[in-house]
Chain A
Amino acid sequence: MAKQSIEEVLIEFNPKLPRLSVSESKVLKFLVEAAKLISPIYLEQEKQADSGLDRKAIEEAAKKDPTISSPYTVVEKVDGKLTAIPYHVKYAELLKPIAEKLEEAAKITDNKEFGRALKLQAKALLDGTYDQAIAAWLKMEPYILDISIGPLHHFDNQLSFSKSSYHAWVGVIETEGTDRLNNYKTITLSAIRKALVPKERIDPQKIKAKVLNVLVFSGIMARTRFTGINLPIDVSLVEKYGAEVTLFNQPNDLRVKEQILPTFNKIFSKGFKQGFSEEDLSRGYQRCVALHELAHSYLYYRNAVKNLQDLFSSLYELAATILGLRLAGPLLLKDRITNKQLESMIVAYTCRSFYLMERGLGSKFLMNYALGGTVFINFMLESGAIKKFDGLISINFTKTFVSLHELSYILEGLLSQGTRKDAESFIKKYVH
């Protein structure tokens, strides 16, 4: 594989870090080394995805052999028959040195709980006991160092079930941002929010939240450059162990620089642009991501993946963004954020959506988000909340907030009791 390809799936950042102890610095070094070794595995997975196996044949075979639809298997043709090979078997050689690095880190860390989770993670990479590792990480008390490594349940293919992609991130907790995120979390999640269909929704008992200064993104994380994530995605795991929201500072800065600001400069008039500084948009976007990830906590509908199939991810992500923006309303009424900050969130997400509409519909990695962004823009144009004139955009914030409520209601309806057909006809209405 060409060197350039490895670079595409491995991003190193150079954040300003707090003072770490000698042992923490050593542990961090091992974690970064382990994370970097994920990228070749992910590249193998990308090659595998392009192997030309027929999607319908795989879905048909999965009805007889459930391991084919497991998120942790590679499907290959062996003697003319579709066969599932567990990830830990298929990639055993590449995983061994990663597990060793984690073991080394586990030996020298002063934090016993962290060490235990690292050992379980190393074990999971080699024998597929992922749930035990997930449980250990979710039970852990907050700690300054952070790593997530292994197969990530992420919907980046178009099968009716999803295959996990190898990923890794390594970061150091940013205390101030984490405190702010936890403050939002407490305010937002402490109100009892009614479920559209209560028996269908899972209400996780525990949601953890942290903001990281990131040292490395590897595998699918580097491809997608997520700015935030809420894991696990699997509702049955959320029901058992809770979930954790993580925000990433440096990838957020990167997205603002590469997507939000250029789009902002392109689509708004000079007068409108004078109302928002770069700082407003950067913070607005991060706030938007924070509330998006927190909003997922209200959207764990038991059968949504099964019912909406390949359209689940687009609608789930959009529903979280729209509900997240709505959740900013009560924050404003409680004086926790200002009108300007809410406006900055809406402007930043509008920019992201226009960017996705232009660039994402043809991209495998952005497709799910691009569909959502396109629905958002066209829904807002239809309601008159956003207007286009002379190639420029204007936003009526009051109308936007009313439309967010309507859109949020439709999306939650689809997640809670919609069928794939319902989802398809809704998307078709707004994505031409």
Chain B
Amino acid sequence: MSSTDTTLGELHPQPHREAPSYLDDGHTIASWLLTGDHKRIAMLYLISVTFFFFIGSVAAGLIRFELTSPAGVVLESETYNKIFSAHGVTMVFLFLVVAIPAVFGNFFIPLMIGARDLAFPRLNLASWYMFMTGGLCILIGYIAGGVDTGWTFYTPYSSLYSNTQVTLVLVGVFVSGFSSITTGVNFVATIHKMRAPGMTWFRLPLFVWSMYATSLLLILGTPVVAITLLLVIFERLFKLPIFSPELGGDPVLFQHLFWFYSHPAVYIMILPAFGVVSELIANFSRKRIFGYHFVAFSSIAIAGLGFLVWGHHMFVSSQSMYESVVFSLISFLVAVPSAIKIFNWTTTMYKGNIVLHSPMLYAISFLGIFTVGGLTGLFLGSIGTDVHLTATYFVVAHFHYVMVGGTMLGFLGALHYWWPKMTGRLYNDTMGKINAIIVFIGFNLTFFPQFILGWMGMPRRYHYYYFAPEFQAYHVMSSMGASVLGLGFILPAFYLTMSLINGKKASSNPWDAHGLEWQTTSPPPTSNFLETPIVMDEVYDFDPVSEHEQDMKDQAEHPSDEDQGHMPGGGHH
């Protein structure tokens, strides 16, 4: 692992460096904080979302710690309410919605389509500043006392009765919402208009299709929650009555408008992860994605149908029964495109030439965990069972399966896959694999008992459960799992950071993957490509026969590489 070893991979020789990499192009603080380079902005986002994830995780740790005892441990109920609200707000608005699009979308969309930058670089930078301003507002809100309304801010509690920092936190959410909208605008314009010659829509990597669908959701959904939360702020500050029952307003209206965005929001969280998984499975099975068109169109279908199902969060809110039936039906329908993707990914792996590097382990974990999460969503989508399961830990387990087991695994997989490209360094792949296993075990230990708890009747957002002390065994199991999961989230911070210090320099294509981003240096130069690429064929043009032959040839020449856990493409002589 000596840093003086700069020998590059044989298979894809490094293009002759004419331009400095984007990391070397300017070392002042101003060159980072005033950059227009999408790659630098992506790194700024990476640092920010990691920071916010850490804050959300501390809150999660406190929650799990508190729930180990039926009567609570150290927190008062008021504080507990603020802690789970902080966990929700931070994780949803400051991490999940933002992470994969803002980090990997920003970094890789121009690279994958063969462009020099995004359509609107200065808007991109403004987007990051809006995100940081919103996040800072929210943090100040926490320090000043936090909110105890839950991340869903239901009225009239949030608009009239809560004495907590609702206004400040909502202003933060509002501002960071504009960051989402501008990111979506940027991506849509870029993908439509800045593809390299020959890059038709159906030659695009599926990650780009997912980001396009996500951008549609960002543009069309975020404004609705923005105005809804703005109205709650007005109701608190100016007593502008919209949702207050005293004056004839309807609190359920808030729920309709809130979930009109927040359901598409969960698709904003998962679609990018779908895109990442498509990339990982295709490249590490060394096989063309099965049913490329189906996977591409299913992303758009999920985006469209996702706008029609918000009422399934409101089955017990006095929503009309007829409307509930319609929502339940469409919720079942929206499961279909997701299932199509799972089948296609699994079929891609069948008779593929699977290579189990760490990103692939995350992708395979995703397949199993997301399927469980998706299927349990169906229990919640059918009204009869939802009446019993709603507002219990079953719901909590379901959404953590899809959000942590889905989006977070997608994020980690993307981080491990694209780390060499973004930083130019190789990390220890064995550590990566061990970490993937730790995350998998920790995750299931944390959240599977919660399904059982919910089925048995443990309510969510409750500080204590002394009325049912038999739940304690499951809670303790869950908390133990949370410790393991926490370890799995902290370890990458160490071995990935270590790779920056003494990792081997990466070649342009250490995974031997397909895609325009692997045709340029690691890390890429500021203008991404030294020559505008011209695309002749679709991106996943793996030929299984020649891949196998190449693999046999590699094995014959370098038998020891795989055993030592080294990543290929970094240590060939």
Whether both chains belong to one complex is answered with no
Interface residue ranges, A against B (CB under 8 Å) = none
Interfacial residues, chain B to chain A (CB-CB below 8 A) = none
